[in-house]
A and B are shown apart, each in its own frame.
Chain A
Amino acid sequence: MPTAIITGSSEGLGKAVVLKLLTAGWHVHGFSRQPSEIAHPHFVDHRVDVTQVSSVQNAVAVATANNQGIDLLINNAGAASMNALLLTPSKVAENLMQVNYLGAFHCIQAVGKQMVRQRRGLIINITTVAVPLALEGEAAYVASKAALDALTQVAGKELSSQGVTVVGLGFGPVPTKLTQAVDGNKLQHLNERIGRPNGTSLQEAADFILEAIQQANPVPGSIRYLAQIQSR
């Protein structure tokens, strides 16, 4: 039975992907700060703060105990904040970088080592169309996700020779807690701009991730979007 670790698994897109993987026969370790409502014999719920390296390392040690391999890591945990650049508190910018970039960095290091030992594995970093569009009003968020994209590209190159593939998957606005506070007209305008006038549902985003997992030979370090945006 293939085994996955998903961060940000207690709600939103993470939860939707966990449910799809369980249905597809995966064993899933969910990493999140809040308890999950999912009760399934093949789901293990871990309390993890991805911004704390020791928290990540301890959870990965538990997940890989008894020689349990990890086939898939999805770095989905994320934070968002929409604000004009000059009005964004530095604490907010710091937190976005901690969660969106460093959180994934910690998980890639901890799980990546396990995957290098196995000489196989797939790491998916969840990103956003806001980076290639350089969306105004989201400077700190875009910068943190751009850092994640750069990490994806370099990790893809570094780890591919060890049998570990790293890719990024990007989305427009998906109806989660992160987009609740955003003005509806702005979301509609953005969705039209990226060729998805009806928006992107949680199920569509989760299906896109599942398709990527099943893809035979993904390009290491590539970033693909569920939107009319050129892959990178």
Chain B
Amino acid sequence: MMTRPQSLALVLKRLRALGQELDRPSLLTADEQTRLFGDGAALDSMGLVTLISDLEEDIYRECGARVALADEKAMSRLTSPFRRVNLLADYIIEVVNAG
């Protein structure tokens, strides 16, 4: 089981680490409303891939669950869970707690 504050903390921590690694200051101050993907977003496509790959490992370390965040279920949604930080934090809870 994972709580919403836990999932949000995982996403923000990972975004800040990526911000340092990729030298993108906007990621250092990311919050729930930060756009992850799309026009004016903080990440390009490979940055998003890196974030998802890192988060899957973070989730495993946090709660021992092996999950795939970018699967058919996520990709077929009308509102992508990868659009904003808050949507991604919600989606992580849904995937982890469904397992």
Residues on A lying within 8 angstroms of B by beta carbon are 57, 61, 113-114, 116-117, 158, 161-162
Residues on B lying within 8 angstroms of A by beta carbon are 46, 49-50, 53-54, 56-57, 66
What's the minimum C-beta distance from B59 to chain A, rounded to whole angstroms?
12
What's the minimum C-beta distance from A25 to chain B, rounded to whole angstroms?
27
Known: A113-B53, A117-B54, A117-B57. A162 touches B46 (CB 8 A): yes
In the complex, what distance in Å separates the CA atom of A158 from the CA atom of B57?
20
Is the beta-carbon distance between B49 and A116 smaller than 8 angstroms?
yes
In the complex, what distance in Å separates the CA atom of A207 from the CA atom of B57?
35
Is the beta-carbon distance between B50 and A162 smaller than 8 angstroms?
yes
Is the beta-carbon distance between B66 and A116 smaller than 8 angstroms?
no
In the complex, what distance in Å separates the CA atom of A57 from the CA atom of B68?
11
What's the minimum C-beta distance from B45 to chain A, rounded to whole angstroms?
8
Q: Which residues of B contact A162 (CB under 8 A)?
A: 46, 49-50
**A–B Cβ pairs within 8 angstroms, 16 of them:** A57-B66, A61-B66, A113-B53, A113-B56, A114-B53, A116-B49, A116-B50, A116-B53, A117-B53, A117-B54, A117-B57, A158-B46, A161-B46, A162-B46, A162-B49, A162-B50
What's the minimum C-beta distance from B61 to chain A, rounded to whole angstroms?
9
In the complex, what distance in Å separates the CA atom of A88 from the CA atom of B54?
44
In the complex, what distance in Å separates the CA atom of A158 from the CA atom of B48?
12
In the complex, what distance in Å separates the CA atom of A7 from the CA atom of B66?
22
What's the minimum C-beta distance from B86 to chain A, rounded to whole angstroms?
24
